[in-house]
Chain A
Amino acid sequence: MSDIGFVRTEMLPEREPPASTVGALGWARANLFSNWFNSILTLASLYAIYAILAAILPWVFSPTWNGASLNNCREILTAAGSVGDHGTSGACWGVIRERWIQLLFGFYPSELYWRPVLAFILLGVALAPVLFSDNVPSKMLIFSALYPFIFPWLLWGGTIWGPIAALAGFVLGWVVYSAVSKTMSSLMGIVLGAVAALVWWLLLSSYFTGALNSILPIGIEVVESRKFGGFMLSITIGVVAIACSLPLGIVLALGRQSDLMIVKYICVGFIEFIRGVPLITLLFVASTLLNIFMPPGTNFDIILRVLIMVTLFAAAYMAEVIRGGLAALPRGQYEGADSLGLNYWQAQRLVIMPQALKISIPGIVSTFIGVFKDTTLVSIIGLLDPLGLSNAIRADANWNGVVWELYGFIALLFFIFCFGMSRYSMYLERKLHTGHR
């Protein structure tokens, strides 16, 4: 026998890790003070954080909540003794106290504030089964499907027959589609169904609405678009653009991959054109140029025009994001679906899109966030979104010169929404993660 032979007869027990590698102390040593250079960086960072907070916090916590004007704020600050080298130092929060409701609702009639509030609460209810499909019964989806008709009615008001007529258009289109697709091809069904719905919406529904309204006038007070403003306007544009751009983007992305040349080039042309033009140009087209092409006397609501433009803009970007997800799918997924006998739409809906969308979640949510922030551009064409309002507020002699407080408040609200979307996307990615492939 050689003397290098070795056989272990007893397995070693597990031992506790040394104290220096676990707990807060271990963490700090490993991450903050692992060598002299890191220790210096840590101390320098701590000092920088201290210096920044020391400069900002006194400004933020200034006792000016009740200030009635900028001068009044300065008096309060002087009385409190916070006077620096360049005059008083401290925020003037009076402007937010006086105007926050306007920053939220614009010039919406104050006795009707309950309507947008209710609309946004119901928005949450309608989104719940879509966003949190695990925890919310899927029967609630019926409400989600009806919500697009309730939402504009609550915001703009008018007769109840308007949204019902719009809904009837979808029902009519569906009936025509199912009748035709049974007897003829499904493509014919889609085309004829769409035509029937369009004829209804554009030609017939106004008579229907008018007639029923004269028989049974049920409705709520009308609020005109020019009274819309503030975050209500931003959220309205953002939500509609986000909700419409996703399905439109999916269709465009699929169209771009289509074997049919015409469909393909229409989609490519649309996407490239919209992406090649700045949003602000599209908004100017919406606000001014479109009127030139419209027959005189037609009243095409400005918010509706902006909604269409922002939606098209977002859809073009969405299509490219989704195309990226489609390209990332291995060919085998298409072949697997095909070999089982699934047809094109089944394969797309059940196999391809769920995976492509999942891959695209970060890009889709980035686009959502971008669209939501881009809604501030509407202030340039005269709509009173929060930024537009902040200019209006500063035009008031009382608040002339207030800048940081207004922009800070607006930034904070935007940040809350955008951060929420970003966190949700991370939740969704974790939830849909089904192990490595």
Chain B
Amino acid sequence: MSELAIDREIDRSKMQVSDEIAIEITNMNKWYGAFHVLRDINLTVNQGERIVIAGPSGSGKSTLIRCLNALEEHQQGKIVVDGTELSNDLKNIDKIRSEVGMVFQHFNLFPHLTILENCTLAPIWVRKTPRKEAEETAMHFLEKVKIPEQANKYPGQLSGGQQQRVAIARSLCMRPRIMLFDEPTSALDPEMIKEVLDTMIELAEEGMTMLCVTHEMGFARQVANRVIFMDAGQIVEQNEPEEFFNNPQSERTKLFLSQILGH
């Protein structure tokens, strides 16, 4: 895969990592049946961090970030998100889910609702925001992702890149403190990848805490403050992007980088 050039200056003034801990994972293990998919994961993420998770297919990247909002259940260890521990208590799970936004590879927009309704659904029903206020917020974020004029269309009428930007806006309408991205550009045609990455860069510039599973190494280099490399359900290596790309330590990382960067 070649690297997509990011051709604009990135404003780093608000990209600050605070001391406040956003996510803390300690000794976390997960199995699918007998298959040990995540092994002894330890990870601390501070507010304001932009983390890119890379690794070969099937290494457990999706599973890891899906554990963070309890789309998957972990069997051992402790996950604390924004001060709330993930347990079987449904109240905690719903609280965390409303604080943590998630963007999927296949957008997962609701095809029977208009773009505006997609964006107002959760604020109205989960946050109990009055409809009018929710619509104003939704329009605000749709403008931010640069598609306010599509508000009354249905997802099926939009291009892939537009749908993914709506999905980002839909998450933002819940005013999340943390955003999770699971390969947000993998299902897109090349010319649409850039518009989605641009939206993500803008989010980073505003200081959002982000965990992104992505193969866009340009994004990792320029935006991330930390790159995590996973293989076979384990965190193999993590480092600042410069170090990670220029001076990988483990053999697995070197192999992966040579494959993905094509040299």
* Chain A interfacial positions (CB closer than 8 Å to B): 330, 332-333, 335-343, 346, 350-351, 354-355, 358, 432, 434-437
B159 to nearest A CB, angstroms? 12
Interface centre among B109, B111, B171 (most CB of A within 10 A): B111
Verify if B238 is at the interface (C-beta below 8 Å from A): no
Q: How large is the interface on B (under 10, 10 to 19, 20 to 34, 35 or more residues)?
A: 20 to 34
Residue B125 interfacial (CB < 8 Å): yes
Rank and list the top 3 A-B pairs by shortest CB-CB distance, nearest first.
A435-B156, A341-B98, A336-B108
Specify which chain A residues have a CB less than 8 angstroms from the CB of B245 in the assembled complex: none
Residue in B106, B108, B126 whose CB lies within 8 Å of A342: B126
Contact residues in B for A354 (Cβ distance below 8 Å): 112
- Closest B residue to A436 by beta carbon equals B156
Instruction: Say which residue of B107, B111, B174 sits within 8 Å of A341 (CB atoms).
Output: B174
Q: How far is the CB of A429 from chain B (nearest CB, A)?
A: 13
Residues of B within 8 A of A351 (CB): 110, 121
Q: Which residues of A contact B112 (CB under 8 A)?
A: 354-355, 358, 432, 434
Of residues 90 to 107 in B, which have CB atoms within 8 Å of A's CB atoms? 90, 94-95, 97-98, 100-102, 104, 106-107
**A336–B110 touching, CB < 8 Å:** yes
Kindly identify which residue among B95, B97, B107, B154 contacts A340, using a CB–CB cutoff of 8 Å: B97
Q: Is the CB of B87 closer than 8 A to any CB of chain A? A: no
With contact pairs A336-B108, A432-B112 given, residues A342 and B156 touching in the complex (Cβ less than 8 Å):
no
| Contact indicator B98/A355 (Cβ below 8 Å) | no
Q: How far is the CA of A341 from the CA of B177 in the complex (A)?
A: 14
**Complex interface bits, B160-171 against A, C-beta within 8 A gives 1, otherwise 0:** 000000000011
Cβ contact within 8 Å between B154 and A350: no
Establish whether residues A341 and B154, one from each chain, have CB atoms under 8 Å apart when the complex forms: no
A-B contact pairs, 15 of them (CB 8 A): A336-B104, A337-B110, A339-B104, A340-B126, A340-B171, A341-B95, A341-B97, A341-B126, A342-B126, A350-B125, A355-B111, A434-B156, A434-B157, A435-B156, A437-B156
CA distance A332 to B94 in the complex (A): 18
Min C-beta distance of A177 to chain B, whole Å: 19
Chain B residue contacts of A338, Cβ below 8 A: 69, 71, 97
Complexed CA–CA distance, A343 and B93 (Å): 10
Min CB distance, B97 to chain A, in Å?
A: 4
Check if B109 sits within 8 Å of A341, measured CB to CB. Answer: no
Q: How far is the CA of A378 from the CA of B155 in the complex (A)?
A: 48
- Assess whether B122 is interfacial by the CB under 8 Å rule: yes
- Decide: A333 and B108 in contact? CB cutoff 8 A: yes
Q: How many A-B residue pairs have CB under 8 A?
A: 76
**Chain B, 214-243, contact with A by CB distance < 8 Å: what is the 0/1 string?**
000000000000000000000000000000
Quick one: given A332-B104, A434-B111, are A340 and B94 in contact (CB under 8 Å)?
A: no
CB contacts (< 8 Å) of A435 on chain B: these are 111, 154-157
Closest chain A residue to B153, Cβ basis: A435
**In the bound complex, do residue A350 and residue B108 qualify as a contact, i.e. CB atoms below 8 Å apart?**
no
Docked pose: A216 CA to B71 CA in angstroms: 59
- Nearest chain A CB to B99 CB, angstrom units: 8
B residues contacting A by CB (< 8 A) are 69, 71, 90, 94-95, 97-98, 100-102, 104, 106-112, 121-122, 125-126, 154-157, 170-171, 174
Beyond known contacts A330-B106, A340-B126: 5 more, CB 8 A cutoff: A333-B108, A336-B110, A342-B122, A432-B112, A434-B157
- Which residues of the other chain, A, contact B171 by a CB distance below 8 angstroms? 339-340
Quick check: B104 and A340 within 8 Å, CB to CB? no
Bound together, the chains give a CA A127 to CA B233 distance in angstroms of: 56
- What is the CB-to-nearest-CB distance from B102 to chain A, in angstroms, rounded to a whole number? 4
B122 near A335 (CB under 8 angstroms)?
Answer: no
Residues on the A chain within 8 Å of B104, using CB: 332, 335-336, 339
Complex interface: chain B residues within 8 A of A341 (CB): 94-95, 97-98, 122, 126, 174
Determine whether the beta carbon of A335 is less than 8 Å from that of B97.
no
A185 to chain B, nearest CB (A): 10
Assess whether A350 is in contact with B121, with CB atoms less than 8 Å apart.
yes
**Residue ID in chain A nearest B157 by CB atoms:** A435
Query: Do A340 and B174 contact each other (CB < 8 Å), given the known contacts A333-B108, A333-B110?
Result: yes
Chain A residues with Cβ under 8 A from B100's Cβ? 339
A437–B98 CA distance with the chains assembled, in angstroms: 26
Q: In the complex the two chains form, is B122's CB within 8 Å of A340's CB?
A: yes
When the two chains form their complex, are residues B71 and A339 in contact, meaning their CB atoms are under 8 A apart? yes
Q: Chain B residues near A437 (CB, 8 Å)?
A: 111, 155-156
Q: In the assembled complex, how far is the CB of residue B171 from the closest CB belonging to chain A, in whole angstroms?
A: 8
Contact, CB under 8 Å: A336 / B97: no
Minimum CB–CB distance from A259 to chain B (whole Å) comes to: 12
Shortest A12–chain B CB gap in Å is 30
Chain A positions within 8 Å of B71 at CB level: 335, 338-339
A338 to B174, CA, bound (A): 13
Docked complex Cα distance between A261 and B108 (Å): 29
- In the complex the two chains form, what is the Cα distance from A341 to B174 in whole Å? 9
CA distance A64 to B184 in the complex (A): 75
Expressed in whole angstroms, the minimum distance between the Cβ of A262 and any Cβ of chain B is 19
Q: Which residue of A lies closest to B170 (CB)?
A: A340
Query: For residue B127, which residue of chain A has the nearest CB?
Result: A341
Kindly provide the distance from the CB of A306 to the nearest chain B CB, expressed in whole angstroms: 37
| CA–CA, A343 and B126, complex, Å | 8
A434-B112, A435-B157 known; A339-B97 Cβ under 8 A: yes
Among A336, A343, A350, A436, which residue has its beta carbon within 8 angstroms of that of B94? A343
In this complex, the member of A330, A333, A338, A340 whose beta carbon has the largest number of chain B beta carbons within 10 angstroms is A340
| A333 to B112 CA separation, bound complex (whole angstroms) | 11
- Residues of B near A350 (CB, < 8 A) are 121, 125
